[in-house]
Amino acid sequence: MPKQVDHDARRTAIAQALWRVARVRGLEKVSLREVAAEAGISLGQLQHYFVNRQQLMVFAMEFMSRKNVERVTERLIAVDGTDHRARLRAIALEMLPIDEDARVGSLLNIDFLLEAARNDTLREHVRQRTAALRGLLEGQIALAVQAGDVSPDRDARAEAGLLIALADGLRTHFHLGTHTADEVVSLMDGHLDRLLGESGGRKPR
Amino acid sequence: MPKQVDHDARRTAIAQALWRVARVRGLEKVSLREVAAEAGISLGQLQHYFVNRQQLMVFAMEFMSRKNVERVTERLIAVDGTDHRARLRAIALEMLPIDEDARVGSLLNIDFLLEAARNDTLREHVRQRTAALRGLLEGQIALAVQAGDVSPDRDARAEAGLLIALADGLRTHFHLGTHTADEVVSLMDGHLDRLLGESGGRKPR
């Protein structure tokens, strides 16, 4: 091991170890000791970075959020800036369990939301993340309204709130086995068609 | 204590004790011993009815579901049978945390969904419950389509799936503090307006 430890790299390795352990057993049952073992370091070394479980969980969620933002950004780069449907869909799909990475992330995200529902610090963290996502969606919908792709009757802020709640609910029901991944995408597409189909003379599916 | 124990009453008392304990600490952290103490009986007496935690949880969820069905039925009785909007809204509101009872129930329901996401027996139980609710909503939407209150473009089954996912997502975000109870109701009303407003010439809000 080099004398000069790369602290960012180690933090990231610890977060990845947490995700690997949590993926199997659920976030709420993971101990710091197990995460240290999975990351191949001692408990003391881990506690040098994260003094308790909550600090580690917040870091791990932020790590996941950053990965999500990177994925959304990549998708948006590939999409024509004036194609508002494609842009909204790119963001919406990133909230759904459409591939293996997103499935693990979304299962752990459900665990995190649950723990946050009873923990003020985590709840505040979720609230900020949700507000940022809602802002992004709201801006995108407002642009689509300006371009005439979404009816001016629609309230961009309310629609953004609906989209996030819908994506979270669909995700939960995917993990419960109510809907397949394809059904989840199809239901979201139906909702987007309503949002985008009314004013443009586009035929709803 | 009477010699002749009323077993149904005792089961119900145990389920209520579980809810009281879980309300504070979260369902996943509740032990059978704590529930027995809360119900004022011994652990052995409790195990006479429920041999393990999972049996107790399934019973408690069914107990909650029955209470929900009773509440929906009461609401529907109070509503004109041809007023499809009012009937759909009655069912939808019952899925939202609109009063203290519903809030406790929905917080515990989130706990239950989480545990179910990793437990095959519980997942099967949730799947059946969701299928029953979806059937109820689908039938109600199909009636509204027949009556011309919902556009025939709409697929009743897909719309029922969307409504359930939306309600679950809104509920979670209520408990996370993203939306107040009023905002949750207002977002759901907006969604119902879209569903019911397109063909009837009703003006969307």
Rounded distance, CA A179 to CA A137, Å?
24
pLDDT in tens, A119-170: 788 888 888 888 988 998 999 999 999 999 999 999 999 999 999 999 999 9
The domain that holds B100 is classified in CATH as 1.10.357.10
Average confidence score pLDDT of chain B: 85
One domain, residues B21 and B78:
no
CA distance A34 to A22: 10
Do A36 and A71 have their domain in common?
A: no
Tell me if A174 is assigned to some domain. yes
* Structural domain boundaries enclosing A15: 1-51
- CA dist B30 and B24 (Å) reads 10
User: Could you tell me if residue A170 is inside a domain?
Assistant: yes
B116 touches chain A (CB under 8 A): yes
Residue B205 has pLDDT above 60, yes or no: no
Domain count of chain A?
2
Q: Are residues A45 and A81 in the same domain?
A: no
Does one domain contain both B141 and B120?
Answer: yes
How does pLDDT run across B87-134, given as a tens digit for each residue? 999 999 988 988 887 887 777 777 777 778 777 888 888 888 889 889
The residue of chain A with its CA nearest to that of B179 is: A161
Residue pair B39/B56 in contact (Cβ under 8 Å)? The answer is no
Residue B53 to residue A104: CA distance in whole angstroms: 27
Q: Is B28 on the interface with A (CB under 8 A)?
A: yes
Residue A203 lies in a domain: no
B116 → closest Cβ in A161, A176, A179: A176
Q: What is the pLDDT of residues B50-71, one digit of tens each?
A: 988 888 888 888 887 787 788 8
For chain B, how far is it from start to end, CA to CA, in angstroms?
A: 58
> B121: nearest CA in chain A?
A176
For residue A18, tell me if it sits in a domain: yes
> Do A142 and A115 share a structural domain?
yes
Cβ neighbours around B15 below 10 Å, total: 22
Domain-embedded: residue A202: no
Same-domain check for residues A103 and A180 = yes
Q: How far is A177 from chain B (nearest CA, A)?
A: 7
Q: Mean per-residue pLDDT for B44-52?
A: 91
Confirm or reject contact between B165 and chain A (CB < 8 A): yes
CB-based contact (8 Å) between A116 and chain B? yes
Same domain membership, residue B183 and residue B139: yes
CB pairs under 8 A between A and B: 118
d(CA A97, CA A177): 12
Q: Model confidence over A2-19: pLDDT tens digits?
A: 556 788 888 888 988 888
CB-CB under 8 Å, A126 with B187: no
A46 or A59, higher pLDDT: A46
Give pLDDT, residue B146: 94
Which of A168-182, B64-78, B83-97 is predicted least confidently? B64-78
Distance from CA of A110 to the nearest CA of B (A): 7
Give the ipTM of the model, two decimals please. 0.81
Contact A117/B at CB under 8 A: yes
| Distance between CA atoms of residues A83 and A204, nearest Å | 17
Q: Which amino acid is at A61?
A: M
Chain B hits for A153, CB-CB cut-off 8 Å, are 204
Determine the pLDDT at residue B195: 94
Q: Distance between terminal CA atoms of chain A?
A: 58
Q: Which two tokens stand for residue A185?
A: 């995408």
What was the pLDDT predicted at A203? 40
CB contact under 8 A, A173 and B153: no
Q: Residue B14 belongs to a domain with what CATH number?
A: 1.10.10
| Cβ pair A195, A204 in contact under 8 A | no
Task: Say yes or no for a CB contact (<8 Å) between B158 and A186.
Answer: yes
Closest-CA residue of A relative to B133 is A178
Does residue A204 form part of some domain? no
Range from A53-62, B26-35, B95-104, B169-178 that averages highest in pLDDT: B169-178
What are A64's two structure tokens?
A: 């996941």
B92, B193: one domain: yes
Looking at the predicted structure, is the pLDDT value of residue A1 above 80?
A: no
The two structure tokens encoding residue A57: 């969980």
Instruction: Scan residues 144-163 of A and list those with Cβ closer than 8 Å to B.
Output: 153, 155, 158, 161-162
- Between CA B109 and CA B131 the distance in angstroms is 16
Does A64 lie in the same domain as A35? no
Q: What is the mean pLDDT of residues A64-76?
A: 82
- In the prediction, which pLDDT does B157 show? 96
B65 and B91 share a domain?
yes
C-alpha–C-alpha distance, residues B49 and B51, integer Å: 7
Taking CB atoms and an 8 Å cutoff, what residues of chain A touch B113?
A: 110, 172, 176
Judge whether B203 lies within some domain: no
- pLDDT tens across B133-158, in order? 899 899 999 999 999 999 999 999 99
Q: Could you tell me if B32 and B79 lie in one domain?
A: no
My answer on whether B95 and B12 are in the same domain is: no
Q: Which residues of B touch A190 (CB under 8 A)?
A: 155, 158, 162
Is B13 inside any structural domain?
A: yes
